[in-house]
């Protein structure tokens, strides 16, 4: 069977491969999916990739499948592990962090100010994929970013380093890396914080994803994926963000939520309301991602159980503690009938807490003129659509109710979406794959995503 494209999604536990055809027509087709365990522990992720392809062919009842193009996204082996180093946390560090998260990174270390010896030792011990240096508005403070660049170059880590600080430093930064034979690993970007109260993160996000593809992550066998994949390879969360921005062009302001086994990701694509932007105390990116590493419905289920409390879970599910303990002991990554109600409660709680952490809020303060209201964080009050992707919110029976219940419970001071927002489900579970596909086939990706979301 000959088709236009295969897109692999190499996750930390599961590898999925999706098949697509008719990409250059007005009726692109999602053919089907294949699944297999990710084979990091076997020393070669291509084993799981090939098994997923075999599963796809079995599902389609064919003996061979040939694709003109093969794309991939990956979050295997911890995903894209980065560190971010800036001047002031609330300014240049925050801007660099937003760029990294929006590109799909898993941030392992954040520092502000000139790096100290113990922090340099942390950088060496983290097994990072990329390091980002920021600091100083353009033609402003120079010393912090220069010192950090010089010290990181001296570490000779042989990994990509992105400089996204004061552009006045670029030539000196290049000199430092040349002196340490590290120039091949240096990438220069626009300043992520070029002037006060201004974020410029898109250029840096693109560089991060390009660097990721060039210096493919160090999961066992990932270098061999390049032999199989002849098109783009990007981090899976970055692919979801890419798809979210694509849908924004069609739907307008939206958020995408992915409640997973280990983490819960929220992507928002919205400018917010004009009246809120006028009282914001710090700028926020147009496209923002947050990842809650402690909130998941399988690997991190115990964290969510603790947040709810076992007694409250028993009341909500009308079960005894012994029954709950039994469910938790036999808990499976794909829930059985007995487990569904508990998984739905965990998913709902993970989404609710993640949304609160992602959304901004109104703050009342007093000055000489009396009480003044300010806004801080991301304004989601203009959001009209909630897109659910990931295993939990695309497969659980009451997924729509879970989303709408969370929206109805939001505090009035939190800048969250309205309860009148519309929930859309990624029914085919292909949003990440379409984010990768959109790099080369944006029209087809949009049409296929509309079909998956059941938008006429």
Write out pLDDT tens, residues 6-24: 999 987 778 899 999 999 9
Query: Which residue bears the tokens 């061999």?
Result: 224
With beta carbons less than 8 A apart as the criterion, state whether 438 and 242 touch. yes
Instruction: Evaluate if residue 219 carries a pLDDT over 70.
Output: no
Write out pLDDT tens, residues 376-414: 999 999 999 999 998 899 999 999 999 999 999 877 778
pLDDT of the residue at 356: 93
**Rg of the Cα trace of the chain?**
23
Q: Which helix (H) or strand (E) holds 264?
A: strand 264-269
Q: How far apart are CA 227 and CA 45, in angstroms?
A: 12
pLDDT of the residue at 293: 83
pLDDT of the residue at 43: 67
Q: What percent of the chain has pLDDT over 90?
A: 70
Mean pLDDT of 338-360: 95
pLDDT of the residue at 251: 96
Write out pLDDT tens, residues 228-278: 888 888 888 899 999 999 999 999 999 999 998 888 999 999 999 999 999
pLDDT of the residue at 60: 94
pLDDT of the residue at 218: 57
Q: Specify the range with the lowest mean pLDDT, choosing from 101-110, 118-127, 327-336, 366-375.
A: 366-375
Write out pLDDT tens, residues 226-240: 778 888 888 888 999
Tell which residue, 258, 260, 219, has the closest CA to residue 240. Answer: 258
Give the side-chain half-sphere CA count within 13 A for 17: 29
Q: Which pTM was predicted? A: 0.87
pLDDT of the residue at 222: 67
Write out pLDDT tens, residues 131-163: 999 999 999 999 999 999 999 999 999 999 999
Instruction: Name the phi and psi angles at 311, rounded to 5.
Output: -65, -45
Instruction: Evaluate if residue 100 carries a pLDDT over 80.
Output: yes
CA dihedral for 358, 217, 432, 50, sign (positive or negative): negative
Average pLDDT of every residue of the chain: 91
Write out pLDDT tens, residues 186-204: 999 999 999 988 889 989 9
Residue 137 Ramachandran class (φ > 0 left, ψ -120 to 50 alpha, else beta): beta
Name the band, by pLDDT with cuts 50, 70 and 90, for residue 302.
very high
Task: Specify the higher pLDDT residue, 345 or 46.
Answer: 345
Q: 178-198 burial, b if ≥16 CB within 10 A, otherwise e? A: eeeebeebbbbbebbbbeeee
Instruction: Evaluate if residue 61 carries a pLDDT over 90.
Output: yes
Instruction: Evaluate if residue 435 carries a pLDDT over 90.
Output: yes
Domains of the chain: 2-77+218-231 (3.30.420.40), 80-214 (3.40.50.2300), 234-425 (3.30.420)
Alpha carbon 46 to chain centroid distance?
A: 23
Q: How far apart are CA 86 and CA 105, in angstroms?
A: 17
């Amino acid at each position: 069977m000959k088709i236009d494209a295969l897109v692999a999604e190499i996750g930390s536990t599961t590898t999925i491969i999706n098949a697509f055809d008719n990409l250059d027509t007005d009726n692109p087709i999602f053919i089907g999916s294949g699944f297999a365990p990710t084979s990091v522990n076997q020393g070669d992720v291509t084993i799981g990739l090939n098994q997923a392809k075999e599963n796809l062919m079995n599902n389609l009842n064919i003996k061979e499948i040939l694709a003109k193009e093969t794309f991939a996204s990956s979050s295997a082996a911890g995903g894209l592990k980065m560190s971010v180093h800036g001047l002031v946390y609330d300014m240049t560090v925050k801007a660099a962090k937003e760029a990294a998260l929006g590109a799909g990174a898993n941030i392992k270390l954040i520092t502000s100010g000139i790096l100290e010896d113990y922090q340099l030792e942390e950088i060496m011990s983290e097994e990072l994929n990329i390091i980002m240096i920021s600091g100083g508005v353009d033609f402003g403070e120079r010393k912090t970013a220069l010192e950090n660049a010089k010290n990181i170059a001296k570490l000779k880590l042989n990994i990509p380093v992105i400089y996204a600080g004061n552009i006045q430093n670029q030539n000196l930064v290049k000199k430092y890396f040349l002196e340490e034979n590290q120039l091949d690993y240096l990438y220069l970007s626009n300043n992520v914080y070029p002037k006060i109260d201004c974020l410029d993160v898109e250029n840096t996000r693109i560089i991060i994803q390009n660097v990721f593809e060039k210096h493919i992550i160090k999961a066992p066998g990932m270098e061999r994926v390049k032999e199989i994949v002849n098109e783009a390879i990007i981090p899976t969360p970055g692919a979801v963000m890419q798809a979210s921005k694509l849908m924004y062009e069609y739907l307008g302001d939206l958020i995408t939520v992915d409640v997973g086994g280990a983490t819960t990701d929220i992507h928002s694509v919205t400018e917010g309301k004009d009246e809120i932007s006028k009282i914001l105390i710090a700028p926020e990116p147009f496209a923002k991602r947050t990842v809650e590493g402690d909130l998941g419905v399988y690997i991190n289920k115990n964290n969510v159980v603790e947040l709810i409390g076992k007694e409250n879970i028993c009341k909500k599910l009308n079960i005894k503690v012994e029954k709950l303990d039994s469910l938790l002991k036999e808990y499976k990554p794909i829930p059985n009938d007995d487990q569904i109600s508990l998984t739905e409660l965990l998913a709902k709680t993970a989404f609710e807490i993640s949304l609160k952490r992602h959304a901004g809020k109104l703050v009342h303060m007093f000055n000489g003129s009396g009480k003044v209201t300010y806004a801080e964080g991301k304004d989601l009050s203009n959001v009209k659509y909630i897109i659910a992707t990931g295993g939990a919110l695309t497969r659980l029976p009451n997924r729509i109710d879970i989303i709408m219940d969370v929206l109805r419970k939001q505090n009035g001071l939190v800048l969250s979406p309205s309860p009148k927002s519309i929930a859309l489900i990624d029914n085919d579970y292909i949003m990440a794959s379409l984010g990768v596909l959109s790099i080369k086939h944006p029209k087809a990706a949009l049409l296929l995503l509309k079909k998956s979301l059941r938008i006429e």
